[in-house]
């Protein structure tokens, strides 16, 4: 069932007021499943730098990002950290039907996550076909994003990396041309995520602004002034 056909009257109040319901997994299920998800959910508030899940530890919870921004990371043998991707509001995090977490999930900015016991979520998914379908759809979307992330880190130039991150952030916020987009990442965090230096990130951001592709109203926000050109730069 799509979000447009959901009966708002029969929906749990917390879900009806949720700012990411239309783009999240829970927006693709019927009200009966939504009520059951709501009954088993817990709101987890994460400060920047705190983790929801830890690599190689028990996968006890899964969740849906409501606000903020999280990063998915893996540890290398020499102690370095590799960013595997980002989780924006509406994204699903955690690993259903797996006993161990494959990567850490850590807040980059102050964030809230609607969490569920993995065991209870799995039990509900096992008996509700539309939740299974919604989960499968989300998994394939995440797989597509992971492939784009591999391309970004492995093949893309600095221009393409910065443009890709800005484009994905704008799309995740549903921002149209000229609309202000919050940027939860500092320039240093952008550099760390993209595998660039802070000087390169700052230079590219100002280059895009001078050419009129983006606007920079503040250090922690931007606007997309020429969406077609930003898309071309990210390709």
CATH, domain range 156-234? 1.10.10.10
Predicted local confidence at residue 172, as pLDDT:
87
Q: Does domain 3-153 fall into CATH 2.60.120.10? A: yes
Predicted local confidence at residue 38, as pLDDT:
92
- The percent of residues in the chain predicted with pLDDT above 70, rounded, is 95
Domains of the chain, by residue range, sit at: 3-153, 156-234
Predicted local confidence at residue 10, as pLDDT:
61
What's the rounded mean pLDDT across residues 184-211? 94
pLDDT range class, residue 3, cuts 50, 70, 90: very low
Predicted local confidence at residue 11, as pLDDT:
66
Q: What is the pLDDT of residues 124-171, one digit of tens each?
A: 999 999 999 999 998 898 888 888 888 888 889 999 999 999 999 999
Predicted local confidence at residue 153, as pLDDT:
81
- pTM score: 0.84
Quote the CA–CA distance of 50 and 125 in Å, as a whole number.
28
């Amino acid at each position: 069932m799509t979000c447009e056909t959901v009966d708002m009257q029969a929906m749990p109040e917390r879900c009806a007021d949720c700012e990411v319901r239309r783009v999240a997994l829970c927006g693709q299920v019927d009200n009966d499943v939504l009520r059951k998800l709501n009954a088993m959910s817990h709101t987890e508030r994460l400060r920047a730098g705190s983790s929801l899940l830890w690599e190689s530890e028990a996968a006890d919870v899964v969740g849906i990002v409501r606000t903020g921004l999280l990063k998915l990371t893996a540890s290398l043998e020499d102690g370095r950290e590799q960013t595997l991707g980002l989780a924006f509001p509406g994204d699903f995090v955690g690993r259903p039907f797996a006993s161990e977490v494959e990567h850490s999930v850590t807040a980059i900015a102050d964030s809230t996550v609607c969490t569920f016991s993995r065991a209870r979520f799995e039990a509900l998914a096992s008996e509700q076909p539309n939740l299974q379908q919604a989960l499968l759809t989300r998994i394939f979307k995440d797989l597509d994003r992971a492939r784009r992330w591999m391309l970004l880190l492995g093949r893309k130039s600095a221009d393409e990396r910065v443009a890709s991150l800005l484009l994905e952030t704008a799309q995740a916020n549903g921002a149209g041309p000229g609309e202000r987009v919050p940027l939860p990442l500092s320039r240093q965090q952008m550099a760390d995520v993209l595998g660039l230096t802070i000087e390169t990130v700052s230079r590219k951001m100002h280059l895009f602004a001078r050419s009129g592709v983006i606007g920079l109203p503040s250090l922690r926000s931007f606007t997309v002034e020429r969406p077609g050109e930003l898309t071309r730069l990210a390709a």
